[in-house]
Structure 1
Amino acid sequence: MTKRWNTLQVTGSYKKTLDNMVNWFLQNVGNHPDIGKLNVEATRHPVRFILHEPYSTYCLKKYSSSDYDLDGDTRAGQYYAVMVDGDTPVPVSLFNWDPYGNTKQMIEFRGDDIMGSIKLALGDYETDPISLNTETLTEEYLLQKLEALPNIGAGNVIVSVWPGHWLIEFVGALAGKVPDQFEIDLPEEAVFDCWSYYTHWKDSRIDDEVIFPYPMAGTLDADDNTVSDAAAAGSIGFAKMVPNVGLTVMNLQCRDYYGDGTPDL
């Protein structure tokens, strides 16, 4: 500690105060017999995340009129649970709070059938059609479409693509500037909505997993036998590190999910 602070231009009394603080910690806390039991991870502040995948602990299904229990009583209309994901971790991406960083905009979708293509307009320029096909829509693909705009150019945006969300950060020659808000050009036949908004939340470029501390019950669509998950892919929430468990969900954005891969607010 002394060697480190000797390299800084601080007053002797200030350095002495810092050294005394460190020495006190080492004598009174650092050598405590229970110091090894402390879990530093438990002190981590809550983190904001976005789900990569839909999730349900189980889904609820109803017995039919032909189902009876062992006593011969009808079970018609009674619920029972069918396991879906169980208590398994769910992959997520983490955000950083970045109010003083570069300008960032989120493109958000809402609808049960998000398909076809859209265009993004920035100022007087508009992108070529951007396919919403999940196999085509990669970060590299979206980046190429945006960099082709004359008022953006190569190396001046960073993009992140998640279910129902695209995050665009202005960097390079556009770092520190506040470009216009993107306008969305939807086809007339579109049956979904899409909009843009400014945000201070930055993609940390860190992927992790979260655990739900309570059962998340989905429902079963009786018509096509698909699961309407309790948590939609693209849902945003907060999680806190819990010792011996991991990142544990504290709250989650409410998004309906219809079982076809597209969330609806």
Structure 2
Amino acid sequence: MYNKTLFLLLQTIILQSISNFPYAGALVGYNIRSVNDNEVPYVVCIAKYSPRNHLTNSIICSGALITPNLILTAEHCFDNLQDLALEVLFRYGQPHNYPIYYPIWWISYDQWTAARNLPITNLNNDIALLKIFGLEHQIIPGVLSDITPINVFYGLNFQLVGCGRTNDDEHPLTVQTANARVLNLNECNHIVSYVARSHLYIPENYICTRNSPYIQTSRGDSGAPVIFSDAIIGINLGVSPPFGNNFHPEKVNIHIYAYLYRDFLNNVIADE
């Protein structure tokens, strides 16, 4: 009992730290490129609302349109928000006049399970759905992968994406992408423990990726889809170990495996 309690406590500390990132823009590292015009059109950028000029806002997260009205993203994107003061930006139209949509509501996995009196088997369910309305442009939503189990991906490459901004006036909003290799949990735990100089454990519903030379996600990439064979495997959560927010090229990217939440996703999609 003591060991189980200690393990859950360590998980909680790690997970709280994973979400503790400063706001930043897009992927960092090597072999990063901007996506092509028609590549992953369902990826959206989520910014703090400002009545003055949305293109000067800080992008706090990313997401993936998975139905005409629902966006898959990370729950921690809604931390410290007094209300739903967010804008959802799509990458079509003129660069200085991207269409903006305002969320109606959002729901996390933990909220969904609590409303149904279902048991929560993991402490680390950082996944949510965001509702928008009135999407005018025909965008084909992203497809959720049904590939399982998680270990079939070990050693393969995932496509990472995330929102950011360029320094020129021509393209104030961009989505960047790069590939990273999937680590097995033992390898991932070894790396994060080595970097942190302390024993850390990544939960089993998480996926780790890294590359050499490095490729790392940042806060603006949280909630963005992780893609394999044109299907969404999961979403970005951050990097680990996150302590101190100090850069280290050996840190790994952390993603949540969406297939484990298919009941939640399918239920909300069916009820929308």
Sort the TM-score into its range (normalised by shorter chain): under 0.3
Question: Rg larger in 1 or in 2?
Answer: 1
More strand by share: 1
